[in-house]
Structure 1
Amino acid sequence: MEHVTTPSWAMFAYLISGVLFILALRGLSSPATSRAGNRYGMIGMVIAVATTLVTHDIAGLPEIIGALAIGGGIGFVIARRIAMTAMPQLVAAFHSLVGLAAVLVGWAAYLNPNAFDIATGGVLFIREHYYGVVGGVIKSQSCIEMGLGIAIGAITFSGSIIAFLKLAGKMSGAPIMLPGRHVINLGTIIAILGLVGYFTMDQSLWVIGLITLLAFIIGFLLIIPIGGADMPVVVSMLNSYSGWAAAAMGFTLHNSAMIITGALVGSSGAILSYIMCKAMNRSFISVIAGGFGAAPEASGGAPKEQRPWKRGSAEDAAFLMKEAESVIIIPGYGMAVSQAQHALREMADVLKKEGVSVKYAIHPVAGRMPGHMNVLLAEANVPYDEVFELEDINSEFGQCDVAFIIGANDVVNPAAKTDKSSPIYGMPVFDVDKAKTVMFVKRSMGGVGYSGVDNDVFYMDQTMMLLADAKKMVEDIVKALAH
């Protein structure tokens, strides 16, 4: 059978879409250029999809239009209805769909290789030999691509489902530690890789079925030991997995756009995960192995030391901030839970009218996904030029009048700098202890961060504890500022 070769103009179109995807990643690296980045990504995807539909005999036009209408309609409705505070679980859910798509594409290619061979213009199987597979024996190279694509996709799917359930509060965010989990995980991964190799020699249904089943299981096992507060790295890593799954399926389908896109997503997600691991003083290898998350278990049960601390009111906070020259706000997951970002921006606007300099300090792992705090502040229309990363603002705390901490904990814990026995030792943190006054908004003195470590900032002489729901406390401060 004569194969259809991809025309040169289509390869050029795929190249253009790849460049647009790179520009999209570049744009998304900054809140100020994120809208342009999104536009580049959408244009690139339209070009890639349109080129694929024109050059490949995949399905009839009514089927294609129907699928696009259904998928696009669902996506549009979700985008319109989803709250910004629910963005982490939405991202996890979308990652699961990417993984599931890779699994389904791989199975479709396995069950009907002849159809895929014709549609993609590739060489998926060898026609000279017949061992019970319709149309011939699938090539060894295609077997490896197919097996790895299905395995990575299945891991992404089941892992993302667990991440979604934890982020959405539908299951406990606490780490679930199985006995011998490292041995089980390593053994399962080795078994998957061994089966992928065996699949090149025996293309029986049970082989690819077992690969899929084990991959679904290992995705589940990798994520359940990870605590809810470690989710930023998890979401980033799952994003990387979804990219590699797409790239593997791109090789199976002989689609350059999928290979380019998958490689970009996979590599950028892995790089981001590495950066975030360094920010949390975590081992990158332990993330991949699902081995982190053990820290809370080791230290969370230790009794808290009873030490004197000072409690303040909204009126006290309003008076001190009104008299200050500079205020640095450090948001955390507690702000997201209480949805206090709009009230916080209102508080900042009032302070700026009083001549106070207001800045926001964002830690790389604050929240439940990469950039979580940036997304929430953008939703509240906080100006981009007031938001700073840790390395850009940390030196300013020494001259700061008020450090206003709302819902953050471990990212301001000085134990990360001084206590070598602490599970967060070595993690870069904000130097809030150098500020003249520290205001710490949290629900109660009983709560601790993901590390389970008490925070010395609570008990400093210059610290005022503002114990209440974050949104209510900030709203009360705004009312007090108005008087």
Structure 2
Amino acid sequence: MAHAAPPAWALLAYLASGVLFILALRGLSSPATSRAGNRFGIIGMALAIVTTLVTHIPAALYSGVGVEVDNGLITPFESFAFVPDYVAIFEVLAAIAIGGTIGWVIARRIKMTDMPQLVAAFHSLVGMAAVLVGWAAYLNPEAFGITGAAGLIEPQSRVEMGLGIAIGAITFSGSVIAFLKLAGKMSGAPILLPARHVINLGTLAGILILVGYFTQDQSIAVIALITALAFAIGFLLIIPIGGADMPVVVSMLNSYSGWAAAAMGFTLHNTAMIITGALVGSSGAILSYIMCKAMNRSFISVIAGGFGADASVGSGEAREQRPYKQGSADDAAFMLEQAEKVIIIPGYGMAVAQAQHALREMADKLKEKGVEVKYAIHPVAGRMPGHMNVLLAEANVPYDEVFELEDINSEFSQADVAFIIGANDVVNPAAKTDKTSPIYGMPVFDVGAAKQIFFIKRSMGGVGYAGVDNDVFYLDQTMMLLSDAKKMVEEIVKALD
């Protein structure tokens, strides 16, 4: 059965929603325009949902009494004769209300420090939605208008369906593992299986072969096997990836969710889903590339194992005891207020301690004393792309004080103080000097060029997610402030009064 073409006004509405989604992505590229970007996204999604409901609901919700249905849609001149199916109407509205309420409650209650695992959880829902839609289309192809001769599903629709289900299943299971790692419910260390590369490549090849075979044989066994293998490979792809590569994983899963939505858009003949999925998929892929470039790593190397894949890294072996200088909040406060320029480098430790508000208060007091304060953000700091930017924005840190690595790295030589709070790998000089280090080649901040370094961390026993020691701890100009990040910054703020 040929699928009904949407009316002209619906195509224009979908085009408008696509433009709004593009404006949303453009707005989200900067903290200063992110609120406007979010508004554009909300308006675009509302427009797409309303358009889809208006153009697709009638034939599904109404059992006609003398009603002529043309290609699945009630004709305008006959619509007066329908009898509403109130149960179906209630089900659709109830589903929208329940989903909207859950999303609203989560958005209101979620802590900014929990945003990475929330994003991973939402990605998993997008993936599962793609799987369920694909199976619904398979089980009831007539309703989706994808049947051809002899009532069989059209070959191109089978390809779209198979790929959509496969990508969605990979997104779901991979996102679940990412969520568990980010939430600390399973170890963030790589879990390495024997012959994992052979298993992964073999499974992916098997999925592609089955999708091709699905065009010839649409039996339920084929699509069930595609689904099962895709769920398995999503799990297998993510468990070997260590915590240091999680920003890439989050952006990669974001891309997968977009491609899954786009594939289902073709199955549903929904222009908005195709546009939205393509935008999310391509932007996620570009972001993954940017993240990998920031770590000087290839995308394949991240997927193949991640930081810490070498069993010798982070194995807990005793590290060489080296002398270091430990200071107090009073020492730091005295030297900070004497400085002319201070550069703050936040990391995941700041997020865990929820120290961003105290940090902004410290910066405000320093600025009152005539000190120039800037924030340096590494592209892979935290557990998701933009994690530190989001936390600083929540604390109302001015956007013009926040700089990316390439824009501020040259300024450390003019800085009186480099203030490191909860960061580690992104300031580790081993990335430039030690070819045996797992982070070798990753661009890092040149904090060693600053006159004075304050380094806040809980203890000297911990190392970053890459599992390697940091020579910055032992530099002559480094003073270690061993404490909870929030507690230490609050003590510095009191000492500045």
Q: Structure 1 residue 300 and structure 2 residue 314: aligned? A: yes
Q: Which residue in 2 is equivalent to 1:73? A: 101
Mapping 1:278-317, distance limit 5 Å? 278-287=293-302, 289-295=303-309, 297-301=311-315, 303-317=318-332
Q: Structure 1 residue 343 and structure 2 residue 325: aligned? A: no
Q: Which residue in 1 is equivalent to 2:423? A: 408
- The structure-2 alpha-carbon separation of the partners of 1:385 and 1:70, relative to structure 1 and needing over 3 Å to count, comes to same
From 115, 123, 129, the equivalent of 1:95 is 123
Mapping 1:349-364, distance limit 5 Å? 349-364=364-379
Note the C-alpha offset of 1:2: 6.6
Which has the higher mean CA deviation after the structures are superposed, 222-231 or 240-249?
222-231
Q: Which residue in 1 is equivalent to 2:336? A: 321
Q: Which residue in 1 is equivalent to 2:490? A: 475
Q: What's the secondary structure of 1:260's corresponding residue?
A: helix
Q: Which residue in 2 is equivalent to 1:132? A: none
Note the C-alpha offset of 1:82: 0.6
Q: Which residue in 1 is equivalent to 2:135? A: 107
Note the C-alpha offset of 1:53: 1.0
* In structure 2, distance between residues paired with 1:229 and 1:28: 24
Q: Which residue in 2 is equivalent to 1:125? A: 147
Contact 1:296–1:452 (CA under 8 A) maintained in structure 2: no
Contact 2:172–2:231 (CA under 8 A) maintained in structure 1: yes
Q: Which residue in 1 is equivalent to 2:44? A: 44
- The structure-2 alpha-carbon separation of the partners of 1:313 and 1:3, relative to structure 1 and needing over 3 Å to count, comes to closer
Q: Which residue in 1 is equivalent to 2:477? A: 462
Contact 2:240–2:309 (CA under 8 A) maintained in structure 1: no
Contact 1:223–1:290 (CA under 8 A) maintained in structure 2: no
* In structure 1, distance between residues paired with 2:292 and 2:108: 33
Q: What's the secondary structure of 1:267's corresponding residue?
A: helix
What amino acid is the match of 2:42?
M
What amino acid is the match of 1:40?
F
* In structure 1, distance between residues paired with 2:333 and 2:4: 71
Contact 1:331–1:361 (CA under 8 A) maintained in structure 2: yes
Q: Which residue in 2 is equivalent to 1:133? A: none
- The structure-2 alpha-carbon separation of the partners of 1:65 and 1:290, relative to structure 1 and needing over 3 Å to count, comes to farther
What amino acid is the match of 2:48?
A
Which has the higher mean CA deviation after the structures are superposed, 257-266 or 299-308?
299-308
Q: Which residue in 2 is equivalent to 1:199? A: 214
Contact 2:192–2:309 (CA under 8 A) maintained in structure 1: no
Q: Which residue in 2 is equivalent to 1:56? A: 56
Q: What's the secondary structure of 1:49's corresponding residue?
A: helix
Note the C-alpha offset of 1:62: 2.6
What amino acid is the match of 1:35?
R
Q: Which residue in 2 is equivalent to 1:148? A: 163
Contact 2:167–2:260 (CA under 8 A) maintained in structure 1: yes
* In structure 1, distance between residues paired with 2:334 and 2:152: 78
TM-score, normalised by the number of residues in structure 1: 0.95
What amino acid is the match of 2:111?
A
From 405, 416, 419, the equivalent of 1:390 is 405
- The structure-2 alpha-carbon separation of the partners of 1:49 and 1:101, relative to structure 1 and needing over 3 Å to count, comes to same
* In structure 1, distance between residues paired with 2:181 and 2:305: 17
Contact 1:182–1:291 (CA under 8 A) maintained in structure 2: no
Contact 1:282–1:292 (CA under 8 A) maintained in structure 2: no
- The structure-2 alpha-carbon separation of the partners of 1:227 and 1:2, relative to structure 1 and needing over 3 Å to count, comes to closer
Q: What's the secondary structure of 1:191's corresponding residue?
A: helix
RMSD: 1.3
Q: Structure 1 residue 187 and structure 2 residue 202: aligned? A: yes
What amino acid is the match of 1:387?
V
* In structure 2, distance between residues paired with 1:476 and 1:389: 28
Note the C-alpha offset of 1:290: 4.2
Note the C-alpha offset of 1:94: 0.4
Listed as ranges, the gaps of 5+ residues in structure 1 are 118-123, 130-135
* In structure 1, distance between residues paired with 2:365 and 2:482: 22
What amino acid is the match of 2:35?
R
From 274, 281, 295, the equivalent of 2:289 is 274
Note the C-alpha offset of 1:306: 2.3
Q: Which residue in 2 is equivalent to 1:4? A: 4
What amino acid is the match of 2:418?
A
Q: Which residue in 2 is equivalent to 1:419? A: 434
Q: What's the secondary structure of 1:430's corresponding residue?
A: coil
* In structure 2, distance between residues paired with 1:418 and 1:251: 50
